[in-house]
Amino acid sequence: MRPKTVLPWAALAGVAAVLAACGGTAATGPSSSKNQASAPGITSSSITIGSTQPLTGVAAPGYDEIAPGSKAYFAYVNAHGGVFGRKIKYDYLDDGYNPAQTPTLTHQLVLQDNVFAMFSALGTPTHLAVVNYLNAEKVPDLFVSSGCNCWSNTSQYPDTFGWQPDYTIEGKILGQYVKQHLSGQKVGYFYQNDEFGLDGVKGLNDQIPSSSVVSKQDYVATNTSIGAQIAGLQQAGAQVVVSFSVPAFTAIALLTAAALNYHPTWVVTNVGSDPPTLGAFLSNISKGAAGGALATGMISDAYLPLVSDASNGWIKLFKGIAQQYAPTLPWDGNVLYGMAQAYTLVQVLKASGRNPTRAEVLKTLETVKLTGGPGLVPFDFSKSSHLGYAGVEVVKTGATGAQTALTPIYVTGNTGKIQRYTATPTKAPASGVPSN
């Protein structure tokens, strides 16, 4: 599962590059009426993609549902004809959210499993350990499960694409909410000390006056002892805590604050605020002494339909697929995320033609205006932007764990104004499979 890296990688990579070039040359292009082996990982009957995921470790609870959610949607697509008759094979390996393990596993997927593309590789620190390698090998690096601004560095990483709103965009819109609706209150920051948290803080600082911020506390993902940070926020008198934290650290922060009789208004990134995931964390960590009620009143944001909205067509579609193809998975935001990403990949593969090369898939993302699929806004992919969704709505968690929208949908970039988005989101197709 985790072979040690050996010296011949460079030579093997050269062979892979030659094979990739041969695959591209031999392709008959999108107009061909027959399935052919047009690129590495594509045969006449299958498309193989790969990913690294935290199936174990501190980030596993909740996040370990994302890849199975995607796989369930791919199983649905495969049962309904696949992509031009090809079945999608999804290989995902466990890196434990440990950047030291990610390179070996990524090399395995590219050089041994011969994947056509990387898909949904999860984590900012983990994926930064391999993004240079993937771009050097010209492997499409699609829809990294992270909102790091870095995925839109089109000059350095031309083959990498994000998917979710980046953390600075999210920080800006959450920061605007704090400025407008929690004005006059003392604000504290709690954030992961890497690109995830730092990018979020950039967005917050764009909107929240520095005079309002009384404390900034960070944590590292390998140390779950955060009592000093939460006590620091309390001592500074922070009445609002804006948190860019993964679910485990959101839960630990809530429990630590409760033990200190500290009850600020929590404003938490989408990444760390899924109510079902948080509820499970809170119960497990506290051994049943606490649960999802601690998250009541939490303010967050959403760029996909709310998992509790049973009337939404996308929720009906994906929840039904989950029940059929992954009945042991809970229904929560992580499963929804995985399915929504998988839907987007099928969109891209269909839009790239019957026998796409790797280069053609990348060109499709930059030039074809895909609908946003399940997203509340369209994708913002172009030759100059690889970020994906560029907007969210602000939401609040109620006593039952259901979220409700507090604001309209807003869109923005890393720089520039925040604007209201008024177009109607895309509806789910009756077939459950994208047409283009």
Q: Are strands 117-119 and 46-53 parallel, antiparallel or unpaired?
A: parallel
Q: Taking 70 as the threshold, does the pLDDT of residue 356 lie above it?
A: yes
pLDDT given at position 29:
42
pLDDT in tens, 416-427: 999 999 999 899
Q: Taking 60 as the threshold, does the pLDDT of residue 146 lie above it?
A: yes
What is the average per-residue pLDDT within 98-117? 98
pLDDT in tens, 318-328: 999 999 999 99
pLDDT given at position 24:
37
CA–CA distance, 59 with 44 (Å, rounded to integer): 37
pLDDT given at position 32:
59
231 pLDDT band (50/70/90 cuts)? very high
Tell me the average pLDDT of the chain: 91
Q: Taking 50 as the threshold, does the pLDDT of residue 91 lie above it?
A: yes
pLDDT in tens, 13-44: 333 333 333 333 333 344 457 999 999 999 99
29 SS3 class: coil
372 pLDDT band (50/70/90 cuts)? confident
Choose between 200 and 17: higher pLDDT. Answer: 200
Q: Taking 70 as the threshold, does the pLDDT of residue 294 lie above it?
A: yes
pLDDT given at position 202:
97
pLDDT in tens, 68-81: 999 999 999 999 99
User: What's the DSSP call for residue 110?
Assistant: I
pLDDT given at position 371:
84
Percent of the chain topping pLDDT 70: 92
How far is CA 367 from its chain centroid? 22
Task: For the chain, report the end-to-end CA distance as a whole number of angstroms.
Answer: 36
Domains of the chain: 9-165+309-389 (3.40.50.2300), 167-302 (3.40.50.2300)
pLDDT given at position 34:
93
Ranges of beta strands (E only) in 151-222 are 187-192, 213-219
pLDDT given at position 113:
97
Whether the CB-CB separation of 243 and 271 falls below 8 Å is answered with no
pLDDT in tens, 295-350: 999 999 999 999 999 999 999 999 999 999 999 999 999 999 999 999 999 999 99
Give residue 313's region: left, alpha or beta (phi > 0; psi -120 to 50): alpha
What is the average per-residue pLDDT within 264-276? 95
pTM score, whole prediction: 0.88
Q: Which residue has the tokens 């303010």?
A: 299
CA distances from 18 to 5, 21, 28, 109, 336 (A): 21, 5, 18, 17, 38
What is the average per-residue pLDDT within 392-417? 95
